[in-house]
Amino acid sequence: MDAPTTTSADNGTSGGGGGWFTPRTPPPAQGSEPETTEGSRLAAMRPVGRPGQGAGVNPTMRQDTSPSAAPEPAPPEAAPPGIPVRPAPRTPPAPPQPAEPRVPVQRPAPAQEASPDAVLVRRTMAEVGPVADKVTSYFYALLFVRHPDLRSLFPAAMDTQRDRLLKALLTAAEHIDNTEVLVAYLQNLGRGHRKYGTRAEHYPAVGECLIGALSKYASAIWDAETEAAWVRTYTTISQVMIDAAAADELRAPAWWYAEVVSHDLRTPDVAVVTVRPDQPYPFLAGQYTSLETPWWPRIWRHYSFASAPRSDGLLSFHVKAVPAGWVSNALVHRARPGDILRLGPPAGSMTVDHTTDSGLLCLGGGTGIAPIKALVEDVAEHGERRPVEVFYGARSDHDLYDIDTMLRLQQSHPWLEVRPVVDRHGLVQLPDAIREFGPWYEYDAYVSGPPGMIRSGVDVLRDIGVPSERIRHDSLEELVGAGG
């Protein structure tokens, strides 16, 4: 790994660790240090860390100075040894907020001339693309050398974390001039990072090391103008995330303890895990959460809720053990009733719009049937009779582990149609099966399953005339990193 050995290893371009991104007003009750001396002429836009301000669109994020890159600062804090079953109660969370997308993959940026900062940011990303692995390795090495106290916040194995940083940067660069989409993405990141132990005072360290890594590997095009664009971009990004986290802190805990109450092994590698949170957990059918086990501290993976909200407050997840999947294998083969997990906040936009009576076209592959089942229950609980068509895909009959549940739902609700689709030697695939039915022009489409199935499913839906704005699915970027 091309790692720095001194604090000036970035050739001095990041100000030698000066206070570029230091909050003007550190949040109270956070134990933050006083503001450092300004270390750069470009420090005009610094995050202010306002703890009481709502997480709305940041006033500095205008169309002509749209932000870019969304690195993931300071991921998971370690789970304390011996997680207690009954921790001290925290303030009950508010009702679930409107769902927001994790990664804006479904709404393209509007056609418009790119802003000057967007041009420079995208140019930088194109330059470092061929050596992205070196950039991310250098960034983390620089961060841990300059700020060794932050190392304990990160997982021991950094491979997935490096991938997430790059994906966040690429996402932000792609949507830098689409303020509405990018702000929603950043607010979701800011809220989600609370469970990692991220605080406002961590953002300056991440910013200066990010600039250091980019300036080193984009040296051929790096100049004062590019540096200034990245400073403006990052400070605006970090402020949006700080404000979102501060607003969320007023209404919800950063994470919940949850006790495993049942573990149903449906196949040798698929389990339905049901947990009881230590306090009310508000969410919407079709959403997901991040989950941490006591066996792999600071390693979080995303799982969809397998039911609509229940009166008893229990939450269920369908988990498939994948090769080398630390978290998934622990949940399938090691978890037992009485074990204590941790849950992050709910997220995701694959939810039902109950203000319309449009039909639902649902494609669920493998354990992707879990959120589809939740959506069906949600429609039933609202007393609606809108048509719901479910295509349940699997590689074999054996993999249709939840077909009995889906068929029972079909017997109870005449508006529901469930069609199992088994891929027999690649001759019949789930996305192609929907071509035989329809038309689907007036349906809202929901796609859940492995990344490859989602990609092909979305392509087929578009080909048969379903508008892109009516197709909902979870982020492909997050799904790739959530396999274990």
Whether the predicted pLDDT of 104 surpasses 70: no
Q: What average pLDDT does the segment 79-97 reach?
A: 39
Residue 97 CB partners (closer than 8 Å, separation 6+): none
The secondary structure of residue 347, as a DSSP letter, is B
The secondary structure of residue 441, as a DSSP letter, is T
Contact 218, 124 (CB under 8 A): yes
Q: Report d(CA 15, CA 36) in Å as an integer.
A: 13
- Residue 437 confidence class, pLDDT cut points 50, 70, 90: confident
Contact 452, 446 (CB under 8 A): no
Amino acid at 351: T
Whether the predicted pLDDT of 377 surpasses 90: yes
Contact 173, 185 (CB under 8 A): no
CB atoms within 10 A of CB 111: 5
Which alpha helices (DSSP H) does 70-131 contain, by range? 116-128
- % of the chain residues with pLDDT over 70: 71
Amino acid at 85: V
84-93 long-range contacts (CB < 8 A, ≥24 apart) are 84/257, 84/340, 85/257, 85/259, 85/338, 85/340, 86/278, 87/257, 87/278, 89/278, 89/279, 90/253, 90/279, 91/253, 92/279, 92/280, 93/251, 93/252, 93/253, 93/279, 93/280, 93/281, 93/282
From the list 161, 119, 154, the residue with the least C-alpha distance to 137 is: 161
115-140 as b/e: b if 16+ CB within 10 A: bebbebbbebbebbeeebeebbbbbb
Q: Report d(CA 232, CA 115) in Å as an integer.
A: 13
Residue 231 CB partners (closer than 8 Å, separation 6+): 20, 21, 40, 42, 43, 45, 207, 211
Amino acid at 375: L
Whether the predicted pLDDT of 65 surpasses 50: no
Which range, of 49-63, 360-374, 466-480, averages the lowest pLDDT?
49-63
Most confident of 62-71, 227-236, 331-340, 377-386: 331-340
Whether the predicted pLDDT of 17 surpasses 50: no
Q: Report d(CA 187, CA 164) in Å as an integer.
A: 16
For 264, the 3-state DSSP assignment is strand
Contact 318, 406 (CB under 8 A): no
Report the pLDDT value the prediction gives residue 368, as an integer from 0 to 100: 94
- % of the chain residues with pLDDT over 90: 41
- Residue 429 confidence class, pLDDT cut points 50, 70, 90: low
Report the pLDDT value the prediction gives residue 159, as an integer from 0 to 100: 65
Measure CA 198 to chain center. Answer: 15
